[in-house]
């Protein structure tokens, strides 16, 4: 009877959930900063779904035909801030600091234009893995056809489309060591969208496609969800600075508040893997953060001793460089669910 009651409760909760839409209007988007004092653009309940529209970089100013000169001008126009355009924030009723927000990525529908560029290394010698080797900037635009599975890079070369949000964030961590806008010391001042952190943000993890769930610790009342920096494809490393950058007609999310779950860093679940993350300005420290999270996951969620978890991680965890271009580097370690399948 208890199991039946749980099923009935789940069905009734699903039936009562509402669907919302948040368009990327000028008042609903921010360029390059996560501002904890920005008023929510939408308030929803835990379990509701929301379809969010996103824009290209710099509030859609980098779009097909924009020159490298224009791209450089826009990069310099927002000192300290990221190039990303984020839609939000979304306030989730019941989300409090110390909780965890489960965010399910239910659907992604890209718009029709994408691009990739590297900035001129002569002007930006630290932006991009090989910036000094590429002194001139380069930009390439792509047409993304509705429902297409790939785009043409050039004749004979196809790029498979694998849309995912480069940035999916909750409200800032007041203890984030990132510099604040204008150099102020106020921990509640805006934080640049450049650096990923415990609240998610610019993670650039290409596994976060449709059907993925991410769990993010909550730092501010309401959770305050943002998304943008939309990608349609990206190799691990994101080496020249950008992915196949695009925007979404719709990314449909379902946030669920968890009161009985505690996390320090985001965790990701796909159909095939559990994924633990680590971020730091030092790539090796980012790796250490990610593998420590992996050992913690295996020992607390899979019933292993820490020694067993460390041993198993060495044999099955696949640790990958998410990106090296966001000031704070990213590593994610993937543990296959098949490891725990019964014979």
Q: What is the mean pLDDT of the chain?
A: 95
Is the preceding peptide bond at 89 cis, omega within 30 degrees of 0? yes
Considering the segment(s) 272-343 as one domain, its CATH architecture is Roll (3.10)
| Mean pLDDT confidence for 157-185 | 97
pLDDT at 44: 98
Average pLDDT over residues 9-15: 47
CA-derived radius of gyration, the chain: 20
Amino acid 31: pLDDT: 98
One fold for 17-263 and 272-343: no
- Mean pLDDT throughout 180-208? 97
Q: Residue 260 pLDDT > 60, yes or no? A: yes
- The answer to whether 205 and 329 are in contact (CB under 8 A) is no
**Percent over 70 (pLDDT), the chain:** 95
Query: Mean per-residue pLDDT for 110-127?
Result: 97
Tens digit of pLDDT for each residue in 58-67?
A: 999 999 999 9
Task: Determine the average pLDDT of the residues in 270-277.
Answer: 98
pLDDT of residue 342: 74
Is there a contact between 293 and 267 (Cβ–Cβ < 8 Å)? yes
pLDDT of residue 152: 98
Contact 55, 85 (CB under 8 A): yes
pLDDT of 109 > 90? The answer is yes
**Side-chain-side CA neighbours of residue 84 (13 Å):** 32
Domain ranges for the chain, please list them: 17-263, 272-343
How would DSSP label each residue in 145-198?
Answer: -TT-SEEEEETTEEEE---EEEEEE-SPPTT--SPBGGG---TTS-EETTS-BT
User: How far is Cα 169 from Cα 165, in angstroms, rounded to an integer?
Assistant: 10
pLDDT at 185 over 60: yes
CA distance 150 to 6: 42
Q: CA–CA separation, 30 vs 26, rounded Å?
A: 8
Mean pLDDT for the stretch of residues 220-239: 98
Orientation angle between helical segments 306-316 and 283-301, nearest 10 degrees: 120
User: Predicted confidence band at 68 (pLDDT cuts at 50, 70, 90)?
Assistant: very high
Rounded Cα distance between 181 and 189, Å, is 6
The pLDDT of residue 14 is 53
pLDDT score recorded for residue 16: 80
**Which residues make Cβ contacts (< 8 Å) with residue 20, sequence separation at least 6?**
42, 44, 48, 49, 50, 51
Distance CA 15, CA 343 (A): 37
| CB of 213 closer than 8 Å to CB of 102 | yes
DSSP state of 39: P
Q: pLDDT confidence of 341, banded at 50, 70, 90?
A: confident
Residue 269 has pLDDT above 60, yes or no: yes
52 CB neighbour count, 10 Å cutoff: 28
Taking residues 27-45, report their average pLDDT.
98
17-263: CATH topology is Jelly Rolls (2.60.120)
Alpha carbons 107 and 128: distance in angstroms, whole number:
30
Q: Looking at residues 108-112, what average pLDDT do you find?
A: 98
In 81-148 the beta strands, taken as DSSP E runs, fall at 85-93, 100-110, 113-118, 138-143
Does position 10 have pLDDT exceeding 70, yes or no? no
What CA–CA distance (Å, rounded) separates 187 from 173?
Answer: 8
Give the integer Cα–Cα distance in Å for 326 and 240: 11
């Amino acid at each position: 009877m208890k199991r039946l009651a749980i099923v009935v409760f789940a069905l009734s909760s699903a039936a009562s959930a509402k669907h919302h839409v948040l368009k990327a209007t000028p008042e609903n988007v921010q360029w390059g900063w996560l501002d904890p004092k920005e008023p929510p653009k939408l308030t929803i309940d835990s379990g509701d779904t929301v379809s969010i529209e996103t824009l290209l970089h710099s509030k859609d100013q980098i779009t097909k035909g924009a020159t490298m000169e224009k791209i450089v001008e826009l990069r310099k126009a927002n000192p300290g801030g990221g190039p990303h355009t984020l839609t939000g924030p979304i306030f989730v009723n019941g989300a409090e600091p110390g909780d965890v927000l489960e965010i399910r990525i239910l659907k992604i529908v890209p718009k029709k234009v994408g691009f990739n560029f590297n900035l001129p290394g002569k002007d930006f010698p630290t932006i991009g893995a090989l910036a000094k080797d590429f002194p001139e900037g380069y930009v390439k635009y792509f047409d993304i056809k509705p429902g297409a599975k790939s785009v043409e890079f050039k004749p004979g070369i196809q790029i498979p489309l694998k849309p995912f949000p480069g940035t999916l964030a909750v409200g800032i961590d007041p203890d984030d060591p990132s510099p604040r806008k204008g150099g102020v010391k106020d921990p509640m001042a805006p934080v640049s969208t450049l650096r990923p952190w415990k609240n998610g943000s610019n993670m650039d993890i290409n596994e976060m496609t449709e059907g993925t769930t991410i769990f993010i610790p909550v730092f501010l009342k309401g959770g305050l969800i943002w998304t943008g920096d939309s990608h349609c494809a990206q190799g691990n490393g994101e080496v020249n600075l950008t992915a196949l950058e695009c925007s979404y007609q719709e990314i449909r999310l379902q946030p669920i508040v968890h009161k009985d779950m505690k996390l320090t860093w985001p965790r990701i679940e796909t159909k095939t893997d559990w994924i633990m993350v680590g971020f730091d300005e030092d790539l090796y420290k980012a790796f250490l953060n990610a593998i420590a999270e992996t050992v913690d996951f295996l020992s607390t969620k899979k019933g292993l001793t820490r020694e067993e978890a460390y041993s198993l991680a060495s044999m099955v965890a696949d640790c990958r460089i998410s990106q090296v271009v966001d000031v704070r580097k990213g590593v994610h370690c993937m543990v296959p669910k098949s490891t725990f399948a019964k014979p």
